[in-house]
Structure 1
Amino acid sequence: MGIKRYIAGYIESVVNQIQYKKHQEKQLAYLNAATFDPESVRLDNTVQIFNNRGDKKYISIGNNSWIKGELLTWKHGGEISIGENCFIGDFAKIWSSVKVSIGNNVLISHGVNIHDNISHPLNSIERHQDFLHVRKIGLQDNVNISEAEIIIEDDAWVGFNATIFKGVTVGKGAIIGANTVITKDVPPFAVVVGNPARIIKQTT
């Protein structure tokens, strides 16, 4: 029985070491794609960072933040700034072609979508041409899409599977309920739910 426990413990130790090494390698690789302190910021194995602008200054992550989701800048533009003590959950997607600014102490749950653009041209011919370009070559240097900056202020909390669209400011301390769709500004300390979002109460 003692030998079995020893072997099981040894195997577990080896597996943990391999996983830790892979995690370190991934974190170091992302140092070329984003600006952050690897000793302070936690990037889980689920993280994906696509900095299509090619300069790590366009994606920054503040100290003591924990990132598990996906960060993407478009080729023609985009900037993502995440403050200190923030959490970005599994399968959350933050896509930017202009700028997404996230303050300090912000919680963004799993499955959240934050997009400062509409992703595709409204014109059907342009949309199809854009799709063909992305499929064959990748993102275009210039694309005709509607876009506007998103700001999420300090201490906000975004519930799971919520969606925040372009041009929105989420005020300090605001709470966005699960599955809520945000198309307009959310006042500070407001609690909003639904599609479209509506205010149900104020907190302090």
Structure 2
Amino acid sequence: MCATEVKIGARCMISWNCSIFDSIGHRMWLERSGEAEVEAPITIGDDVWIGPYSIIMKGVTIGENSIIGAGSVVRRDVPPNSLVYGNPARRAGTVVRWER
């Protein structure tokens, strides 16, 4: 779902059944702080591989040359050259290079 902006870099590989959400899909008001932040752009750098069934949440930047493991839920930024996986996705290593 794209409400604001989703940027996808060059040579990315996005596997099947991935979800990329830059919005939660509806407005929401919180009792103490008022309107919640419901939309934020997503940036996916060059040469990123997103494994099947992964979910990329609003406001995330995925650095270039990174790999997102299958079934991951990415809620925070991913530094360049990172291998991340899990729910929530956590950094598990450094990517030197990957090929299709």
- TM-score past 0.5 threshold: yes
Q: C-alpha separation between the residues in 1 aligned to 2:90 and 2:21?
A: 20
Give 1:122 shift.
2.6
Unaligned runs of 5+ in 2: 30-35
Cα deviations across residues 143-164 of structure 1 (Å, max 9, x unaligned)?
A: x971011000000000000000
Partner of 1:155: 47
Partner of 2:17: 111
TM-score (norm 1): 0.43
Asked if 1:97 corresponds to 2:3, the answer is: yes
Question: After the TM superposition, which segments of 4 or more aligned residues of structure 1 sit over 6 Å from their partners?
Answer: none
Q: Which structure shows the bigger proportion of residues in helix conformation?
A: 1
Bigger relative contact order, structure 1 or 2, given CA contacts below 8 A and separation 6+? 2
Partner of 1:49: none
Count of matched residue pairs: 90
Partner of 1:203: 95
Q: C-alpha separation between the residues in 1 aligned to 2:59 and 2:41?
A: 5
Asked if 1:183 corresponds to 2:89, the answer is: no
Report if the CA contact (8 A) 1:120-1:145 is conserved.
Answer: no
Report if the CA contact (8 A) 1:162-1:179 is conserved.
Answer: yes
Asked if 1:192 corresponds to 2:84, the answer is: yes
Cα deviations across residues 105-156 of structure 1 (Å, max 9, x unaligned)?
A: 0000000000100112235xxxxxxxxxxxxxxxxxxxx9710110000000
Cα deviations across residues 61-101 of structure 1 (Å, max 9, x unaligned)?
A: xxxxxxxxxxxxxxxxxxxxxxxxxxxxxxxxxx2111000
% identical aligned pairs: 42
TM-score (norm 2): 0.85
Q: C-alpha separation between the residues in 1 aligned to 2:38 and 2:50?
A: 24
- Which of structures 1 and 2 has the bigger CA Rg? 1
* Structure 1 segment 124-163 matched on structure 2, within 5 A: 146-163=38-55
Report if the CA contact (8 A) 1:119-1:145 is conserved.
Answer: no
SS of 2:26 mapped into structure 1 = coil
SS of 1:96 mapped into structure 2 = coil
Give 1:203 shift.
1.1
Q: Which structure shows the bigger proportion of residues in strand conformation?
A: 2
